[in-house]
A and B are shown apart, each in its own frame.
Chain A
Amino acid sequence: MPCLSCNDLRVSFRIRKKSAYAVRGVSFSVDDRATLGIVGESGCGKSVTAAAIMRLVPAPPGKIESGAILFEEKDLLTIPEKEMRGVRGRRISMVFQDPMTSLNPVFTCGDQTAEPLILHKGMDKRAAAELSMELFSEVGIAEPKRVFESYPHNLSGGMRQRVMIAMALACSPKLLIADEPTTALDVTVQARLLELLKKLQDAKDMSMILITHNLGIVAGMARHVIVMYAGELVESAPTRTLFEAPRHPYTECLLKTIPSIDKRGERLTVIPGTVPTPFEIPDGCLFHPRCPKAKDVCRKERPALHCVDERGITDNDVNADNDKHHVRCHLYV
């Protein structure tokens, strides 16, 4: 029984009287107590997918066109807003990318961490304060009392991100969505925070969706990975399979662009061009203009998602099984 499953999610944005899909039919599921990694370049729809799960897509211009997100036997897209408010921050919570801007500068860190406890759990101020400080020490803040009374601008980036994590964990959520949680941070701080997230996940029986463009982080953290391109899911597989035998040319390219610290570089492989905006979606396979292996059929027909086995041969059984390797590419038909 997966913790959350998302079926055929479509999100559109209406800009200057033109409407375009930012997420076009994405399906995935997050296993209980496991981490799902979502990777792709900027503009691939990763963050919009996360926002849709939380129902935080700004509407208008955004609109969730169709799909279902099943979580604890409810469809998060159809329940009333009032009920959603009980899910948001309590059962599913989110750590945002930029700790510099996602904390409120005019409230102390303590006030902000205590807020969900007071709202969701009905605690009084003192109990909430005590629990907040406990949370602070749990996320590895050395002086919880000082941080409790500090304003965000008094803290370093790593500390602020810890406060964000403490806040997200306040109500012991079932699912944590981490949207590029360490992108703005130094490598050493990043390593420490990822270690912390892993530890907390085990301790609290939490599932996690980890959104990042850093494949190295996914390799160390996630059990399954989905790769998104231009709003579409192009490949999904268990982490090890994806790194050892990537099938989609986009995933291959992404893996090759990372400079490695093990060897002194030849030229890095680059993916020519950029991700198409939702308004300039090409015909056929969305990746074909940048694909080194594009064939004629790729320019005309949009490929469907196929299931492939370890030898790269298609088997027709497309189901939502996370341990299967799915790929959206004509090469494997």
Chain B
Amino acid sequence: MCDINTVNTDDNGDGIVNSGTDNRINNDIRINTDSGIDPNNRANDICVDIQNLNVRFPTRSGLMGKISGWTKAVDGISFGIRRGETFSVVGESGCGKTTAAMAVMGLIKPTSGDIRLYLGDYKEKSTQWADLHGGERKRLRRLVQIVFQDPYSSLNPRMTVRSILSEPFAIHNLYGKKEREARIAELLDRVGLSTAYLDRYPHEFSGGQRQRVGIARALATSPEFIVADEPVSALDVSIQAQIINLLQDLQRRYSQTMLFISHDLAVVRHIADRIAVMYRGKIMEMGDNEAIFASHAHPYTELLLKSVPTAGTGTVVTATPKVSTIGDDKDVSTTGNGAGCAFYPRCPRRCDRCVNETPELNDLGSGHFVACFCA
């Protein structure tokens, strides 16, 4: 399991992300010449490796809350996130994308499967949340941070920006008093806020500014890996553009590794290096940005893309796409016995084989995988 090739991973354990240029960047318009990441085989320089992850929640019924079944929120997904890339998971609400992210963060215990993290002290040999306890767990936690969806509820209204941003330092016991002040100023600068805002409370900010504070907080401990869970979906279009640009800057300048969860394909198109499309707990299609948007092979990906209303300067106005030909989502419960393709009830290309057999992720070459018999 130790065949990873860790090139250019700076190990100055002080946890400060170098603000200078880094030679791991510029992987934004990357076309895979290697075989990409095989779900069953780790390629080089992986940061987070997820193998056959399952998360199930019990459904209870009756007065005594007897367990009457299991909901498969995440149903055997595998993918790897390379160092310095933005990996995006897209899908409709309820498809398990947030649950998967929570499991990666170590906030939910997976039912089965491996989440191997190649971070910090474990850069060479990898670790799992389940193997870590107490201080070790906390040390790793410093390197894995999250930006939440709703900037209105994820900042404590009784804390000033200064206290919000110094809390991570206090928790992880980083830096001395003076140095913390300097770090906070640097963080604000990095997310484009003025230090004049230090003593203000969250309610004094607009949604976009609040999300900037949320991002600064996630960056405070110099994490090696950031999960961004729908960071722009609660924001207005114009503010959304600002936050996307900010995230893109962080990604390019500091080659921040990021797991970006979203349901907005236009945003994902803009920011992601590689994309996994999830439906009912399973990965339907996975590949790099171009593969998903230009040569997607799964009918569900196609449905998602067709559903995006489009408009732009100079482009011909396109009518809202017709999706009425595609079955209703009445059968979207995730309980069932699991036989057959999850997308069968809504699929326009379904065939008899899809009822009884579950399609596996199939390699189409250059890291493009699709779980469909018809592709």
Q: Does A297 contact B (CB under 8 A)?
A: no
Contact of B313 among A140, A158, A191, A255 (CB under 8 A): A255
Q: A191 to B346: give the CA distance in the assembly, Å.
A: 15
Q: Does B153 contact A (CB under 8 A)?
A: no
| Proximity bits, A184-208, B CB within 8 Å = 1, else 0 | 0011111110110010000000000
Contact of A216 among B290, B308, B329, B330 (CB under 8 A): B308
| Proximity bits, B295-334, A CB within 8 Å = 1, else 0 | 0000000011111111111110111111110001110000
CB closest chain-B residue, reference A250: B238
Please judge, given known A-B contacts A188-B329, A195-B322, A219-B317, whether A258 and B236 are in contact too, CB under 8 Å: no
Which of B8-16, B106-114, B263-271 makes up part of the contact surface? B263-271
Chain B contacts for A154, CB-based, 8 A: none
Q: A155 to B318: give the CA distance in the assembly, Å.
A: 31
Main secondary structure of the interface of A (DSSP, over half): helix
Q: What's the minimum C-beta distance from A259 to chain B, rounded to whole angstroms?
A: 4
Q: What's the minimum C-beta distance from B240 to chain A, rounded to whole angstroms?
A: 7
Which residues of B (186-234) have their CB < 8 Å from a CB of A?
A: 206, 208
Q: What's the minimum C-beta distance from A141 to chain B, rounded to whole angstroms?
A: 9
- Whether A265 pairs with B320 at a CB distance below 8 angstroms is no
Q: Does A77 contact B (CB under 8 A)?
A: no
CB closest chain-A residue, reference B346: A188
Chain A contacts for B266, CB-based, 8 A: 258-261
- Whether B329 pairs with A261 at a CB distance below 8 angstroms is no
Q: A195 to B328: give the CA distance in the assembly, Å.
A: 13
Q: What's the minimum C-beta distance from B70 to chain A, rounded to whole angstroms?
A: 20
| Proximity bits, B260-290, A CB within 8 Å = 1, else 0 | 0001111101110000000000000000011
Q: Give how many B residues have a beta carbon under 8 Å from the other chain's beta carbons.
A: 50
Q: Does A332 contact B (CB under 8 A)?
A: no
- Whether A257 pairs with B238 at a CB distance below 8 angstroms is yes
Q: Give how many A residues have a beta carbon under 8 Å from the other chain's beta carbons.
A: 50
Which of B133-141, B165-173, B242-250, B353-361 makes up part of the contact surface? B242-250
- Whether B238 pairs with A270 at a CB distance below 8 angstroms is yes
Chain B contacts for A244, CB-based, 8 A: 313-314, 317
Contact of A270 among B242, B267, B310, B329 (CB under 8 A): B242
Please judge, given known A-B contacts A41-B238, A259-B267, A264-B29, whether A217 and B320 are in contact too, CB under 8 Å: yes
Which residues of A (107-155) have their CB < 8 Å from a CB of B?
A: 140, 142-143
- Whether A257 pairs with B240 at a CB distance below 8 angstroms is yes
Most chain B C-beta atoms within 10 Å of own C-beta, residue among A140, A246, A260: A260
Chain B contacts for A220, CB-based, 8 A: 309, 311, 317-320
CB closest chain-A residue, reference B29: A264
- Across the A-B interface, how many residue pairs have beta carbons closer than 8 Å? 145
CB closest chain-B residue, reference A290: B238
Q: Does A218 contact B (CB under 8 A)?
A: yes
Chain B contacts for A240, CB-based, 8 A: 317
Chain B contacts for A239, CB-based, 8 A: 317
Contact of B248 among A143, A252, A267 (CB under 8 A): A267
CB closest chain-B residue, reference A218: B311
Q: Does B241 contact A (CB under 8 A)?
A: yes
Q: Does A253 contact B (CB under 8 A)?
A: yes
- Whether A187 pairs with B265 at a CB distance below 8 angstroms is yes
Chain B contacts for A140, CB-based, 8 A: 328
Q: Does A106 contact B (CB under 8 A)?
A: no
Q: Does B181 contact A (CB under 8 A)?
A: no
Most chain A C-beta atoms within 10 Å of own C-beta, residue among B263, B309, B315, B323: B309
- Could you list some 8 contacts between A and B, CB below 8 A? A186-B93, A188-B303, A195-B323, A215-B311, A220-B320, A243-B317, A255-B312, A264-B270
Across the A-B interface, the 8 shortest Cβ-Cβ residue pairs: A216-B309, A219-B311, A220-B320, A265-B270, A191-B307, A268-B241, A257-B241, A186-B92
Instruction: Known pairs A190-B307, A258-B311; list 16 more (Cβ under 8 Å).
Output: A187-B265, A188-B329, A189-B329, A190-B309, A191-B306, A195-B322, A219-B309, A219-B318, A255-B313, A258-B241, A258-B266, A260-B266, A261-B265, A264-B289, A264-B290, A264-B293
